[in-house]
Structure 1
Amino acid sequence: MELIELFLASILSNNMALIFILGMCSLIAVSTSIKNSVNMGVAVIFVTFITAVINWPIYELLKATNSTQISLLVFIIVIAAFVQFLEMFLAKFFPKIYESFGIFLPLITVNCIVLSVSLFFQTRNYTFAQTAVFSLGTGIGWTLAMILLAGVRQKMYRVSNVPKGLRGRAIAFLILGILALAFIGFSGIGRITF
């Protein structure tokens, strides 16, 4: 039951984008359409999950050798290498998806949530199972926030006349603020608090 609560909390009540305000640069830039948001979200879920699963045993090895002070550097190297691999894979086998990402695929390397998942499991002393569940839920939660933002933005531009000063990123920040308030309402659902 604890893993299910952790999973739900990482998606809803502790959403990295809407509660911790992480990963905003790519979230706002890519959320111009639902299709782009889904593609980017799948890539972020995949990268976040795989890098956390790789970084957990590395951190345990560093703990055993009393070398945890270099964990941040190791985490960054693992994330950068994996994103580079993903970029080459998509360019080779899925060129249309690769082209739709443009500059934002390499930006996954510096997306705050990818690194923060590794830092969170480190500071919270998560087990391997907790790390896997937390990383998967975090990626899904970030994707959910991006898809919601993209959907509201698309609908808003179709049915309303957004004032000139609020078009683009400004309206995205307002929408994110309202979504964050809504997601705070999920905080009473589970026993797990961070």
Structure 2
Amino acid sequence: MSGFFALFLSAMFVENMPLALFLGLCTFIALSKRPETAVGLGIAMIAVMGVTVPLNQVIYSAVLAPGAWGWAGLPDIDLSYLSLLAFIGLIAATVQMLEMLLERFFPAIHSAFGVFLPLLTVQCAILGGSLFMVERRYGFVDSIAYGLGSGAGFAIAVLVLAAIRSRLSYADMPAGLRGLGVTFMLAGMMSLGFASFWQMASP
């Protein structure tokens, strides 16, 4: 169990998707204007990555991996070249289900997402989680820890950025720093802060 939590914390802080691996920056920047929207994005990322990474692990190991069809007397079949297609298909189905649930039960959050909720289907951080899972050969339990940790790390990062941007909206800043200018500076400084976790985790 300690390995589960170690991987969860590593995915959350050491390998933070937007601030350490620089994945998913489009939605990270676009939906961090207001804390309410950032909360919705964070929950969506935890839900989508917590579901898709372990399910993609099952699909890959049971169907796509080399030798997965050995039980059927077909040990030479290798369908790993279909990984991207299968992963994106599962992610698209999960995001579609999430969109339907939000539209039905949380219409305010659904309208706040706008066009960015369907774009989670091709969000590079979500797909990256499944690709890293395959590259590192995580088992099912490890993939759960990695998926939940990656989603939680994204949620923490976007919430912190949204909180800072919300406070800075009352500040009298130079014209050149308003809007995206100060946002990129904040993201860069947060990235430097999260880089310290790399040093702490290094042997």
Normalising by the residue count of structure 2, what TM-score does the alignment of the two structures yield?
0.90
Matched with 1:171 is 182
User: In the alignment, residue 58 of structure 1 is paired with which amino acid?
Assistant: I
Q: Kindly report which structure 2 residues correspond to 1:50-69, keeping only aligned pairs within 5 A, or say none.
A: 50-61=51-62, 62-63=64-65, 64-65=68-69, 66-69=78-81
Aligned with residue 136 of structure 1, among 138, 143, 148: 148
| 1:191 CA drift (Å) | 6.0
| 1:40 CA drift (Å) | 1.0
Matched with 2:160 is 148
Matched with 1:161 is 172
Matched with 1:118 is 130
CA distance in 2: counterparts of 1:18 and 1:126, whole angstroms: 23
Q: How many residue pairs were aligned?
A: 191
User: Gaps (5+ residues) in structure 2?
Assistant: 70-77
Moved over 4 A (4+): none
CA distance in 2: counterparts of 1:107 and 1:150, whole angstroms: 20
User: Gaps (5+ residues) in structure 1?
Assistant: none
Matched with 2:108 is 96
User: In the alignment, residue 178 of structure 1 is paired with which amino acid?
Assistant: M
**Which has the larger displacement, 60-69 or 35-44?**
60-69
- The structure with the larger Rg is 2
User: In the alignment, residue 129 of structure 2 is paired with which amino acid?
Assistant: V
Q: Deviations over 1:61-80 (max 9, x none)?
A: 21103211101110011111
Q: Deviations over 1:25-72 (max 9, x none)?
A: 011000001111011110111011111121111001211032111011
CA distance in 2: counterparts of 1:186 and 1:88, whole angstroms: 37
Q: Is the 8 A contact 1:5 1:190 kept in 2?
A: no
CA distance in 1: counterparts of 2:175 and 2:199, whole angstroms: 38
CA distance in 2: counterparts of 1:168 and 1:78, whole angstroms: 35
Q: Deviations over 1:143-176 (max 9, x none)?
A: 1110111111111222x21221222122111101
User: In the alignment, residue 169 of structure 1 is paired with which amino acid?
Assistant: L
User: In the alignment, residue 120 of structure 1 is paired with which amino acid?
Assistant: F
